[in-house]
Amino acid sequence: MQKGTMMNRNAKHQTFELIPILIYILFYGLISGAFLTRFPFVHSDEAWLAGLSRDMQTAGGFGVTESFFDLKPRVPHAVRILFHALQTVFIRLFGYEISSVRLLSLAAGLACLLILYYIGKRLGGAWIGAGLMILVSLDMSFIYASHFARQEILLGISLLSCLFLLLKCQGLPSPRQSLCLAALTGISVGIHPNSFLCAAVCGSVMLCSCPRPHNRPLILYTCATGIFAALFIGISFLYDPRFIPNYFLYGEQEFELSRSASGRVAQFLYYFKSIFRQESGTYYIPDLRLELILIPIFLILLLLAWLFLKSSLDEDVVSWCSHTRVLLSAMAGLAAGMVVIGRYNQTSIVFFILLGWILVMQLLLLFGPAGRLLSIAAAMAGLLWNGSLQLTPYINMPTYDSYLEQLSRLVPRDAGVIANLNTEFYFDQGVLRDYRNLPYMASRRELENYLEINKIQYICFTDELDYIYENRPNYNVIYGNASFIKDLQSYCESDCTLVGTFENSMYGPRIISLLGTKEYASIRVYRVEEP
């Protein structure tokens, strides 16, 4: 009876303890939602993924490719079907809007904050959990990921959930826990191929925790994860019998992946260098210099502390060392996984930042209460200052809605059009064709045939295209062979009527270095005349 009473008291205490955490997450969600569509700028990736979700919804199945890419090689597959299924739900509930698909990311971000609280609580108690949650919530890479309608923040849920389970079992999962880890990783395959990073983290932790040749937890996890992955791959074969060779060929061509191990390591190092310098093609990169200086320093200090303390027999120190081993091996697995994949998308930096702040909090557990509090407060102040500097300019920048409103004055939403993919949220389903189809045409005549077949009525020609042509082949990864631009421009001037021009410094160009410049802000709208 007494034992039951104690358990009830503990449950009530934990519930009461959770209330301020949930209140913080709720208010954070409301504040974050207030500028959900203003920061960051709407990227064509968001229109691409949402547009594909709409195409799938219209087709009544997942085995389709994007309607706006009818010439650009695409591979139908099942690797992202869960993500598109979730997007479809939000689109049905809230309409085909950028706010709808970004709301999914925000919801995932709030879930990540709750998991971070439990991770911190596991490491050092409720106050550490709260501190970790608040620190991450103020980090610009996290704010960016939770406002960006891509898959990274959803993978963050899987990554953090796996990490929590690994910390709970100290890297040695039971059969049931191994299956739970496999389920989390396997389901993530339906979110994005980068789910391999979750597998790399889990595998690294289990290997470092139990390096024996017959590592039963790792074997069970690998087999179960393989079954999940095989399910998605099997479905992909139904869509495309040559799925695997086509998929990898597409990756090599689209993203210029390096084949050599040394090349991938070199690219991995350059990846962090480019993030530090905020060098990018079309993605917004937050200023993460504070994090990219602080986290590696704390990582090295944490490693040294672990090496010094791992032989201690003190119960609290043993527990700290066990948690530290899990976290260090998780970071090593994450890095190794990125190198194996060989694709260093700037948006993936959030995985390292999430793990990095957990490592920082783990080291702070060695500090006294005063030093710990001071360090957390200083980090929060730095993040708040950095965040305010980066978010404030977006208040006065042109909004995405204003961009679509400018477009609506010149182009009907149901008209066949060639335009930048970032206009997809304005047009009816199936009428838009993206510029990136055009490099696959060998002549002006092929271009004219393409326009006729697709019943193209309008062409939106951005100043950015002139820049890309003048600087060819530097931007071939973005738009393909730039030779098509001259043919398109010639056709617009000879066979079309200029119906109007408008300027938008935020959405006229896609190339990040051109954003905000008046020189490349114009969009010329041409109407295709009947022959």
CATH number assigned to the domain comprising residue 491: 3.40.50
Q: Are residues 185 and 170 in the same domain?
A: yes
Domain that holds residue 194: 75-395
Shared domain for 153 and 273, answered yes or no, is yes
Strand ranges across the sheet with 522-528: 432-434, 417-419, 458-462, 522-528, 496-503
Domain count along the chain: 2
Same domain, 438 and 364: no
Same-domain pairing of 302 and 263: yes
Q: Identify the pLDDT of residue 1.
A: 45
Residue 13, pLDDT score: 60
**What 8-state DSSP symbol labels residue 175?**
H
Q: How crowded is residue 511: how many other Cβ atoms within 10 Å of its Cβ?
A: 19
Q: Both 187 and 229 in a single domain? A: yes
Asked, for residue 225, whether it belongs to a domain, the answer is yes
Q: What is the pLDDT of residue 7?
A: 52
Give me the pLDDT at residue 145, please.
97
Which residues of the chain, if any, have pLDDT below 50? Answer: 1
Alpha-carbon torsion angle 220, 223, 226, 230, nearest 10: -130
Residue 123 sits at the vertex; the CA angle it makes with 119 and 129, to the nearest 5 degrees, is 55
Q: Are residues 388 and 463 in the same domain?
A: no
Kindly state whether residues 217 and 180 are assigned to the same domain: yes
Residues 94 and 157 in one domain: yes
- For residue 209, the model assigns a pLDDT of 86
Domain termination residue (choose one: 395, 418, 452): 395
Q: Is residue 60 part of a domain?
A: no
In a domain, 246, yes or no: yes
Give yes or no: residues 436 and 372 share one domain.
Answer: no
Whether residues 446 and 374 fall in one domain = no
Token couple for 187: 């389901």
159, part of any domain: yes
In a domain, 465, yes or no: yes
Q: Is residue 489 part of a domain?
A: yes
Same domain, yes or no: 236 and 364 = yes
Asked, for residue 389, whether it belongs to a domain, the answer is: yes
Q: Residues with Cβ < 8 Å from 5, sequence gap 6 or more?
A: none
Instruction: Decide which of 377, 395, 413 is a domain's last residue.
Output: 395
- Whether residue 508 contacts residue 461, with contact meaning beta carbons closer than 8 Å, is answered with no
Last residue of a domain, one of 370, 395, 420: 395
In a domain, 41, yes or no: no
For residues 223 and 356, membership in a common domain is answered with yes
